[in-house]
Amino acid sequence: MPRAKDLASLRDQEVVALARAGREAAYREILRRYERPVFSLIYRMVRDRAAAEDLAQETFIKVLNALESYRPEYKFSSWIFKIANNAAIDHLRRREVDTLSLDGAPGARTAEEVDATSLQATDRRPTPLAALESRELGSAIERAIAKLRPEYRTCILLRHVEGRAYEEIAAALDLPLGTVKTYIHRARIELRESLAHLKDG
Amino acid sequence: MDKYLEQDELDRLITRDLSRLPSFVPSLGFDRRVMAMVRLPEPQALIALRRARAWALQPRRALALAGAYAACAVIALALAVPWALQHSSYISFGVGLMATKVIGAARETGMAFAGSVLTSRSFQALRSMPVLREHFVMLFAVATVGYAAAAVTLHRLLKSPGGKRVPATPAR
C-alpha cells in the first residue's frame, strides 16, 4: 500500500480507488490536488472570497462524500469541476434574486411600495475582505473576465487558466464540444473588446 | 491587413495573460474544515468483521456456533489427553529443561544488575555519605508534604464547578 508521499505520483483514478478503500491520506491528496484550481475557479466566478470559500468547501464535501458514485471511466477533474461550476452558478442565480429583492418586492408598483419593501444597505464602506478582493481581482484582465457571461467565464477559465482540454471542459459542463469551442471563441472576442483600450494606451 | 495583425497580437497577449493569472488559495485550515465534514469509509477488513459478528450473533446461529465449538473442544480433549498421558515423561523432561533455562537466565540477569549497581559511582558515593537519623526524618517529611500537596491539587482540579443555588420552586 503506497505511503502518503507516494500518493502524489499516482493518477487521480488510483487515488480515488485508495480513498474508496478507506485511506484518509488519499482523501487529503485529492483535497491537496484540487484545492487551488477549484477555489480559483469559484472565486473568479463569484468574485467574493467568503462565498467562494463556502462554495469550495461545499464542493469538496459533496465530492468526497460521494466518491462511491464516481465512475472511473470519466476524468475525475471533469467531475469535480462540474460540481464546482454548478455550485458557483447556483450561487450567482441566488445572488441575482437577492439583488433584485434589494430593489423592493416584485409586487411593488408605486414608489412608496418600492421604498417600503426595499432593503436598506447601511454601510457601504469597503471591508478588509472587500479590499483584499479588489486587490486580488483588480487587474484589467480579471475585470474583463468578470464582465463575461458565467458560461463563457467558466469555459475561458478552464481552458486558459487551468489548461484543460476542450473535451474535458465539455464533459465538466455537460455541453457539446462545438458549444464549448463557440463559447471560448466568443469569450475571446469579448475579452479583446474589453481590453482593446489598453493596447491603444 | 494591419487590423488583423493587431487582433492576432491582442489575442496572443490575452492568452498569455490568462495563462499567467495566479491561482488562489483558501484560508488556513480549509482542508481541516472539509475533512471534519467528510464521512470516511471503514476499511474492508473492519466491515467484514462487523458483518461476521452480526451474522454470528443472531440467536440460532450463535447457538449452532456454540454447539460446534463445544463439540470441537470435546474432540480435541479426547485426542489430546491420551496423547499427553502417553508422552508424559517426555513432556515433564521438556518442561523441566525449559524451567531450568529460564530460572538460570533470570538469575544471571539479576546478578549482573546487582553487580553493576554495587560497583557504580553513585552507589559508592551514597555509601560513603554519613547518613543520620535527621536525614531520614527530613526526607520523610518532604515526601509527606509533597504527597499532601499533590492530593490537594488533584482535589481542586477534579472538583465540580460551583454554581449558584437555584431554589427548587420559583419564588412568588
For chain B, 172 residues long, give each residue's pLDDT as a single digit of tens: 577 777 788 888 888 888 888 889 999 999 999 999 998 887 778 888 888 888 888 888 888 888 999 999 999 999 999 899 899 889 999 999 999 999 999 999 999 999 999 888 888 887 787 767 777 788 889 999 999 999 998 888 877 555 555 555 544 4
pLDDT score, position A23: 87
Question: Are the CB atoms for A26 and A15 separated by under 8 Å?
Answer: yes
- Mention every residue, 6+ apart, whose C-beta is less than 8 A from residue A142: A44, A136, B21
pLDDT score, position B167: 53
Distance, in Å, from the CA atom of A115 to the CA atom of A118, rounded to the nearest integer, reads 5
Mutate to test the interface with B, among A61, A132, A190, A200 (most CBs of B within 10 A): A61
Distance, in Å, from the CA atom of A115 to the CA atom of A110, rounded to the nearest integer, reads 9
User: Does the pLDDT of residue A28 top 70, yes or no?
Assistant: yes
Average pLDDT rounded to a whole number, residues A169-191:
93
pLDDT score, position A120: 43
- Mention every residue, 6+ apart, whose C-beta is less than 8 A from residue B172: none
With a threshold of 0.90, tell me whether the complex ipTM lies above it. Answer: no
CB of B10 within 8 Å of any CB in chain A? yes
Mutate to test the interface with A, among B2, B33, B38, B50 (most CBs of A within 10 A): B38
For residue B26, which of A59, A190, A17, A94 has the smallest C-alpha distance?
A59
Which pTM does this prediction carry?
0.60
Exposure b/e, A178-195, CB count within 10 A at least 16 = b: eebbebbebbbebbbebb
Q: Check residues A124 and B106 and name the one with the higher pLDDT.
A: B106
CB of B28 within 8 Å of any CB in chain A? no
Average pLDDT rounded to a whole number, residues A137-148:
84
Q: State the cell numbers at B124.
A: 559508592
CB contact under 8 A, A161 and B25: no
Domains of chain A (ranges; CATH) run 1-88 (1.10.1740.10), 138-201 (1.10.10.10)
pLDDT score, position A111: 57
Q: Which amino acid is at B103?
A: I
pLDDT score, position B126: 78
Q: Which residues of B touch A60 (CB under 8 A)?
A: 34, 38
Distances in whole angstroms, Cα of residue B9 to Cα of each of A199, B3, B89: 10, 10, 101
pLDDT score, position A121: 43
Q: State the cell numbers at B159.
A: 472538583
Q: Which residues of A touch B15 (CB under 8 A)?
A: 160
CB contact under 8 A, B19 and A163: yes
Distance, in Å, from the CA atom of A39 to the CA atom of A59, rounded to the nearest integer, reads 10
Question: Are the CB atoms for B7 and B15 separated by under 8 Å?
Answer: no
